């Protein structure tokens, strides 16, 4: 049963920091592989195993003889986190892994972004350092849309977003041919305005768009909207 597997992994975990390097490396590799197999089988994984993953993440190298196991272990760790159905709040040391990958690695960035998409969609907050690391990759075309999804979730979760990211949504509002995308950007900026102090520049853009929407929908606010537009054009 999965209980036995978890228990075996608990025993194996005891040897992860063994003084004999080969024993330590072997234990880390087998432990990470065992957890990945449980994850693939959709078996329950003890939360203590999830909490222990940052301890075995390889920031430099992990060699047994001539062979390096760093990439295999790290890939397994990210697979487990990506497929963790419970998605509870991560400890700070898990985010240290994400920050390191987003800032300094070229591999596994897509996995980290996917983990953060799922994590933020569950309503969990993203720490400041990780926000900075995400801003670092938002301009990379292959990641851009998924990174923006994380920021969308953050806005919905009432987190404060930088002007740099808000301006990306402003650009979509102004430049996109897709009406749904423009509408979504407007709603996100409107929510961000409720969550935080936004710059006068973005606030004015938001209010001009709101006025235009009120006029085009002939809402009860359209008289106010026309008056607002007239005052803004006189400025």
Phi, psi dihedrals of residue 90, rounded to the nearest 5°: -75, 150
Burial of 42 (0-12, 13-18, 19+ CB in 10 A): exposed
Alpha helices per DSSP H over the chain? 2-13, 21-40, 47-56, 70-82, 92-104, 109-121, 128-137, 141-156, 163-175, 179-195, 200-216, 222-234
Q: pLDDT of the chain along its 235 residues, tens only?
A: 345 577 788 888 989 888 898 999 999 999 999 999 999 988 888 888 988 999 999 998 999 888 999 999 999 999 999 998 777 888 899 999 999 999 998 889 999 999 999 999 999 999 999 999 999 999 999 999 999 999 999 999 999 999 999 999 999 988 888 989 999 999 999 999 999 999 999 999 998 888 877 776 665 555 555 565 556 655 6
Question: What's the pTM value of the predicted model, to 2 decimals?
Answer: 0.84
Are the C-beta atoms of 138 and 109 separated by less than 8 Å?
no
């Amino acid at each position: 049963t999965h209980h036995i597997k978890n228990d075996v992994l608990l025993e194996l975990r005891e040897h992860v920091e063994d003084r004999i390097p080969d024993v330590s490396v072997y234990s880390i590799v087998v432990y990470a592989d065992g957890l990945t197999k449980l994850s693939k089988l959709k078996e329950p994984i003890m939360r203590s195993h999830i909490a222990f993953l940052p301890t075995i993440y390889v920031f430099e190298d992990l060699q047994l003889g001539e062979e390096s196991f760093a990439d295999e272990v790290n890939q397994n760790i990210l697979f487990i986190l990506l497929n963790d159905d419970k998605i509870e709040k991560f400890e700070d040391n898990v985010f240290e892994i994400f920050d390191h990958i987003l800032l300094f690695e070229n591999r596994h960035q897509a996995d980290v972004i996917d983990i953060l998409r799922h994590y933020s969609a569950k309503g969990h907050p993203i720490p400041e350092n990780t926000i900075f690391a995400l801003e670092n990759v938002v301009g990379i075309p292959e990641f851009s849309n998924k990174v923006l999804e994380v920021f969308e979730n953050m806005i919905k979760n009432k987190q404060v977003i930088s002007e740099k990211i808000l301006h990306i949504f402003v650009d979509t509002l102004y430049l996109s041919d897709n009406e749904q995308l423009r509408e979504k950007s407007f709603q996100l900026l409107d929510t961000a305005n409720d969550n935080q102090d936004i710059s006068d520049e973005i606030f004015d853009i938001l209010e001009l768009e709101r006025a235009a929407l009120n006029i085009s929908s002939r809402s009860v606010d359209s008289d106010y909207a026309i008056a607002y537009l007239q005052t803004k054009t006189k400025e």
